[in-house]
């Protein structure tokens, strides 16, 4: 059977923040969970923007277009409030933040459409027009993010339905934050430290103490899991262990229809609930059962 995750999809659900100026990388280095000071032209970064309490307000794929220009790709619904919040911290830094969504075309490349095939995640290659960021694979298929000026020709290849691309995002196990789950998680609750989204050696940024404490004091009680549901579930919906329908043990983070029927999800769950008993979304009408699937990458503690 051919893998459905093959081709080129327009990505209308993502937007672009442009950070320009000689302090662009330095400014982002002080605000986000990843290292932007040492960001090379052949790399990208997965990063989160946190509240002072260490809760994720947005997630980005960030990379340099030049020494003085960094692009941050994020969920389009979160772009306006995130741009506003980030801009408040610029102060004297020589950096200007703008919504550049209209200036760029974004495509997802999957399977045979990925130039050079499977590459390590967060490596970047530049062509005459486009920047191609290699992502975590999904369902065994290589994936990449293609970003180019809006006037550039679209990448050539077979069309992929955007809904299938979004299913691939879920199957990769690398969550993109959206409005319903803003400030619901510290990065480790979405496994960000295991997929290149947190740098523990860099200097301070808002929420850093909470992130470090979660990591090094063994206080982490929640993780992200991939799960399948027969019925449709909503992002932000509460997840319960069937043995305790009073207290939620998790949250639906991301969801997409699965090509074989039903829905695949990323859920952030209490580790104990994932290990014991069965879990479901909601309690009304008996709830919707979730079957947990294996994560496609090892967790940091397992490496």
pLDDT digits (tens, 9 = 90+) for 283-303: 888 899 999 999 999 998 743
Q: What is the mean pLDDT of the chain?
A: 94
Reading phi first (left if > 0) and then psi (alpha if -120 to 50, else beta), residue 248 is in beta
- Residues 187-207 have pLDDT tens digits of 999 999 999 999 988 878 887
Instruction: Evaluate whether 160 touches 108 at the Cβ level (below 8 Å).
Output: yes
Does residue 216 surpass a pLDDT of 80? no
- Residues 4-45 have pLDDT tens digits of 999 999 999 999 999 999 999 999 999 999 999 999 999 999
Q: Where does residue 180 rank: exposed (0-12), middle (13-18), buried (19+ CB within 10 A)?
A: middle
pLDDT of residue 218: 67
Q: pTM score > 0.75 for this model?
A: yes
Does residue 209 surpass a pLDDT of 90? no
Quote the CA–CA distance of 92 and 170 in Å, as a whole number: 39
Does residue 158 surpass a pLDDT of 50? yes
């Amino acid at each position: 059977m051919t893998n459905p995750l093959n081709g080129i999809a327009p990505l209308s659900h993502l937007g672009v923040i442009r950070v320009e100026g000689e302090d662009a990388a330095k400014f982002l280095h002080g605000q986000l969970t990843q290292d932007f000071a040492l960001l090379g032209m052949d790399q990208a970064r997965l990063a989160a923007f946190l509240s002072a309490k260490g809760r994720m307000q947005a997630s980005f794929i960030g990379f340099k277009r030049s020494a003085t220009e960094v692009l941050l790709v994020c969920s389009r619904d979160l772009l306006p409030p995130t741009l506003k919040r980030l801009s408040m911290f610029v102060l004297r830094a020589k950096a200007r933040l703008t919504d550049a969504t209209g200036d760029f075309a974004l495509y997802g490349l999957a399977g045979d459409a990925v130039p050079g095939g499977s590459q390590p995640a967060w490596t970047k290659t530049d062509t005459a027009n486009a920047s191609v960021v290699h992502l975590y694979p999904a369902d065994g298929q290589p994936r990449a993010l293609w970003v180019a000026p809006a006037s550039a020709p679209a990448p050539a290849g077979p069309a992929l339905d955007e809904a299938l691309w979004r299913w691939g995002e879920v199957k990769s196990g690398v969550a993109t934050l959206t409005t319903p789950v803003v400030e619901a998680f510290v990065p480790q609750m979405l496994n960000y430290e295991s997929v290149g989204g947190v740098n523990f050696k860099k200097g301070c940024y808002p929420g850093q103490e909470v992130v470090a404490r979660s990591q090094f004091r063994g206080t982490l009680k929640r993780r992200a899991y991939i799960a399948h549901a027969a019925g449709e579930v909503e992002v932000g919906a509460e997840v319960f262990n069937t043995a305790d329908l009073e207290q939620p043990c998790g949250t639906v983070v991301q969801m997409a229809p699965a090509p074989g029927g039903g829905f695949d999800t990323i859920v952030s769950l209490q580790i104990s609930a994932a290990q014991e008993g069965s879990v479901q979304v909601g309690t009304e009408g008996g709830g919707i059962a979730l079957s947990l699937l294996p994560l496609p990458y090892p967790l940091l503690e397992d490496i």
